[in-house]
Amino acid sequence: MSLEELRMPVAQSRIGYRIAKRLIDIVGSAVLLLLLAPLFLVIAICIRLDSCGPVVFRQTRLGLGGKPFTFYKFRSMCTDAEESRKKILHMNEVSGPVFKIKQDPRVTRVGKWLRRYSIDELPQLFNVLKGNMSFVGPRPPLPDEVRRYEKWQLERLSVVPGITCLWQVSGRSKLSFDEWVQLDLKYINSRSILLDFRILLKTIPAVISGEGAY
């Protein structure tokens, strides 16, 4: 089924919550981008010294209501990672339409360190500032993944996607895909500014420990 044929839900939420969440996203991402600018420079140098190719990896992901947007990450894989993925599909260690393996041969030396502590995700602060992502929300999926979703799983696309979410502070890649979605739906049905702050606070130790990271 094509993406155009899928009916993407959009969840309703209180206007006060939407305004507060957006203000937090704008101010928070702008401040962090300024403070982390020196770190971004160091990471960029390390990536370029380690392997040839762009520093930032760009990819099409789906956001609120299935709307596509350009998703940013520090490049942690070889430049032909997307093309070589089909050769290692049999190594997938996660159920459902997603693809993840612990010892991915496409990951560079610097990339292993970046992914271990989720540092490769930092450029998504630009996505937050632009408004196609938030600090907290379901992780944005690839279009090919969404084409294989079951109807109930499409609910993940009913809110703005985020950098961190409930499943990332509840075991991360140790969970099955259905468990990810169930946690995403739990977040969608009970989302609030207070819950967002709780998830953000839990994200810090989860990232530092590197537990469940692929």
Is residue 214 in some structural domain? no
Q: Is the dihedral of CA 47, 48, 49, 53 positive or negative?
A: positive
> Among positive and negative, which fits the CA dihedral 213, 202, 47, 59?
positive
Query: What is the extent of the structural domain holding 10?
Result: 3-209
CA distance to 6, 133, 148, 203, per residue, from 153 (Å): 12, 19, 10, 24
How high is the pLDDT of residue 172? 62
pLDDT tops 60 at residue 1: no
User: 187 pLDDT exceeds 60?
Assistant: yes
- Closest C-alpha among 163, 161, 159, 183 to residue 171: 183
The reported pTM is 0.90
What mean pLDDT is reported for the chain? 89
Mean pLDDT across 108-123: 94
Percent of the chain with pLDDT over 70: 93
Query: Residue 19: inside a domain, yes or no?
Result: yes
Closest CA to 142 of 199, 69, 46, 93: 69
Place 46 in a pLDDT band, splitting at 50, 70 and 90.
very high
For β-strands 162-164 and 134-136, DSSP reports them as parallel
Q: Look at residue 84 in the predicted model and tell me its pLDDT.
A: 79
With CA atoms as reference, report the closest residue to 7 among 134, 136, 149: 149
Beta bridge partners of 73: 57
pLDDT at 212 over 60: no
Beta partners for 68? 62
Question: Can you tell me the distance from the alpha carbon of 118 to that of 122, in angstroms, rounded to the nearest whole number?
Answer: 8
Q: pLDDT tens digit string along 153-173?
A: 999 999 999 999 988 888 666
pLDDT of residue 81: 78
For 75-115, write each residue's pLDDT tens digit.
999 988 778 777 887 778 777 788 888 788 899 999 999 99
**Tally of CB atoms within 10 A around 190:** 9
Please report which helix (H) or strand (E) contains residue 52, including its range.
none
For residues 139 and 162, is the Cβ–Cβ distance under 8 A? yes
Q: How many domains does the chain have?
A: 1
Q: Residue 164: what pLDDT? A: 94
In the block, tokens 């600090």 appear at 135
| CA quadruple 191, 100, 33, 69: dihedral, nearest 10 | -70
Domain annotation covers residue 26 = yes
The conformational region for residue 65 under phi > 0 = left, psi -120 to 50 = alpha, else beta, is left
pLDDT score at 210: 62
Residue 163 lies in a domain: yes
